[in-house]
Homo-oligomer: A and B are copies of this chain.
Amino acid sequence: MSSQKAFQDYYADEVSYCYGCGRLNEQGLQLKSYWDGEEAVCTYRPLPQHMAIPGYVYGGLIASIIDCHSTGTAAAGAYRAQNRAMDTEPALRYVTASLHVDYLRPTPIDSDLVVRARVEEIKGRKIVVSSELTAGGQLCARGEAVLVQMPEEWLEGR
C-alpha cells in the first residue's frame, strides 16, 4: 500500500491541519488512509503515553482514529461513487455528525492498530461508514460514523 497516495494527502492545505489526520499538523497523529479493495485501511502505532492503564490503549485514541479514518473513507468513497479521482474538482470533504464506538476488549498498546472501514451507505450529502479495529490480529473495537459533506465555503480560503 505504501506506493499509494493516502486520502489525506489529497486534501488542500487549508483542511490539512486536523490533529488526527492533517499532514500539516506537526504535533498531531498524521493518520493515513488507503484503499485495499472495497475497504479503506488505516494503521497507527500508539505512543507509550497513549495508555489507558499500563499495557492498553486509551479509548479516546481509538475513537480519534476511527473518527478521522471514517471522514477520510467517506471522502474517498464519495469520489469513487462519482468515478472521479481525489485530485479533481469540486473537492469533497466530510465532517462527523455522529460517532459510535463499541469497545470489545482491552486494546494492547504494543502493536499496530489496524482500522478497516467500509462505506455502508451514501445518501445525498450523508455517508455511513462502519469499521473494525484490530490489534495483533484480535478484534478490539467496532465503529460506526455518520459523515456529512463539508459546506463548500469551509473549503474556500478559510
Contacts and interface: CB of A to CB of B under 8 A. Distances in A.
Nearest to A31: B60
A59 B99 contact: yes
A18 interface: yes
A52 interface: yes
A79 interface: no
A63 B67 contact: yes
A123 to B, nearest CB: 18
A92 interface: no
Nearest to A93: B53
A20 interface: yes
Given A68-B60, A103-B99, A53 B19 contact: no
Contacts of A18: 51-53, 58
B67 A49 contact: no
A6 interface: no
A136 interface: no
Contact of A25 (B28, B49, B63, B67): B49
A139 interface: no
Given A63-B60, A64-B60, A64-B64, A95 B20 contact: no
Given A54-B158, A63-B63, 16 more contacts: A15-B53, A17-B54, A18-B52, A18-B58, A20-B58, A22-B51, A53-B158, A59-B67, A59-B96, A60-B61, A60-B63, A60-B67, A95-B103, A97-B103, A99-B101, A100-B100
